[in-house]
């Protein structure tokens, strides 16, 4: 019988798994080498969507996860469902977008086409000249979350039911006996007995898996996020324009991103991370071109997140057959998936098989 579970990682997945475990009556200990939400979960665009996700099982998991956010949002105000606007500025991009819209519509996912006037009614502070006359896709049920506040809520809920959160103490080894996980050893020397372990370590998930002899192929990437100071500009939803992606970030701030900016990350031999200043300037310039009211609004911070991406791009969720008691909750799109997928994983940890839903996302596919 599983009574005590150690959850490795205190980001959105770890917090969601812990909250679900304790709600189901288990005892949980969450361990993290840093602070909760201090890694990828604190540096993410956190767009909630199932926009073009394939195969169908991944799409359906994402749609169910969006619904889980809506249910949970009755308890707090970290979830913002304002929709997502997207358009392209070349023939190839427009063709891809038409294909994406047609694909999600065939699944029953809400998407429709807008023209310039429609968009300006939604986003009146956009520069009309930056918009095409038509061909702008709108996905009204998409949105974004404030991940740090979400993590705080979930961990507080878990703690209120007896969970322990261990901060700043990295996992250094997993002890096994009779082929099953038995304990977790921390850098401080502490050893925590466990009936099960859930690997929610994000970018470090492969390292944790290796501690029990499993090889998890990952293709992690870096993402550069630019946060502005508060600006008196009306931005109320996620926007994917050809040269900049942006969304609100609370208190009048905006969060800006471009794929080109991601390539400006440099990691030294000692692990220090820097970003070319010119790339940051380019991101801000693209934001100002779309929303002229940004004017000389300052950059408040630049954060670099490491995206945990399993090699085939799909989540890795649920039990590992070769190591009883060892489970995964690792993926890109964690902001979208974590609440629902974390609940599925927690249910399986406690003996409620989720094979029908999790079968496409098992570790064994590798």
pLDDT at position 271 is: 87
| 343-358 average pLDDT score | 97
Q: What is the mean pLDDT of the segment spanning 218-236? A: 97
Mean pLDDT of 58-80: 96
Average pLDDT of the chain is 97
- Structural domains in the chain, CATH included, are 4-47+147-218+311-365 (3.50.50.60), 82-142+219-307 (3.30.9.10)
Is the pLDDT score of 321 beyond 90?
yes
Look at residue 1 in the predicted model and tell me its pLDDT.
Answer: 86
- Which token pair is 108? 């029953």
Name the percent of the chain lying above pLDDT 70: 100
Confidence of residue 66 (pLDDT cuts 50, 70, 90): very high
Q: At what angle do helices 334-349 and 12-23 cross, to 10 degrees?
A: 40
Residue showing tokens 């606007």: 85
- Can you give the pLDDT at residue 179? 85
pLDDT attached to residue 126: 98
**What's the mean pLDDT in 103-108?**
97
- So what's the pLDDT on residue 209? 98
Tell me the mean pLDDT in the region 2-30. 98
pLDDT band at 32 (very low <50, low <70, confident <90, very high): very high
**Among candidates 307, 279, 304, 314, which has minimal Cα distance to 221?**
307
Percent residues over pLDDT 90 in the chain? 99
Q: What per-residue confidence (pLDDT) applies to 177? A: 92
pTM, two decimals, is 0.97
């Amino acid at each position: 019988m599983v009574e005590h579970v150690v959850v490795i990682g205190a980001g959105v997945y770890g917090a969601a798994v812990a909250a679900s475990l304790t709600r189901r009556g288990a005892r949980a200990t969450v361990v993290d080498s840093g602070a909760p939400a201090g890694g990828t979960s604190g540096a993410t665009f956190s767009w909630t969507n199932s926009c073009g996700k394939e195969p169908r099982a991944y799409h359906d998991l994402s749609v169910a996860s969006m619904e889980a956010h809506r249910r949970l949002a009755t308890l707090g105000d970290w979830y913002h469902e304002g929709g997502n606007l997207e358009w392209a500025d070349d023939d190839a991009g427009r063709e891809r977008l038409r294909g994406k819209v047609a694909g999600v519509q065939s699944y029953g996912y809400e998407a429709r086409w807008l023209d310039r006037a429609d968009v300006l009614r939604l986003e009146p502070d956009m520069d009309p000249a930056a918009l095409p006359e038509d061909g702008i896709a709108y996905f009204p049920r998409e949105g974004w979350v404030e991940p740090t506040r979400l993590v705080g809520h979930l961990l507080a809920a878990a703690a209120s039911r007896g969970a322990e959160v261990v901060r700043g103490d990295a996992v250094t080894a997993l002890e096994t006996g009779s082929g099953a996980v038995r304990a977790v050893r921390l850098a401080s020397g502490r050893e925590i007995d466990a009936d099960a372990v859930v690997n929610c370590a994000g970018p470090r998930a492969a390292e944790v898996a290796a501690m029990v002899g499993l090889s998890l192929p990952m293709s992690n990437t870096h993402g550069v996020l630019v946060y502005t100071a508060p600006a008196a500009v009306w931005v109320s939803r996620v926007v994917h324009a050809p040269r900049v992606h942006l969304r609100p970030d609370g208190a009048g701030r905006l969060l800006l991103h471009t794929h080109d900016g991601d390539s400006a990350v440099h990691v030294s031999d000692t692990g220090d991370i820097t970003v070319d200043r010119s790339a940051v300037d380019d991101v801000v310039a693209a934001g100002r071109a779309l929303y002229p009211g940004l004017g000389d609004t300052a950059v408040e911070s630049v954060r670099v997140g490491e995206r945990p991406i399993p090699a085939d791009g799909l989540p890795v969720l649920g039990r590992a057959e070769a190591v009883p008691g060892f489970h995964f909750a690792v993926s890109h799109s964690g902001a979208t998936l974590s609440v629902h997928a974390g609940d599925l994983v927690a249910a399986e940890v406690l003996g409620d098989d989720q094979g029908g839903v999790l079968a496409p996302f098992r570790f064994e596919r590798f």
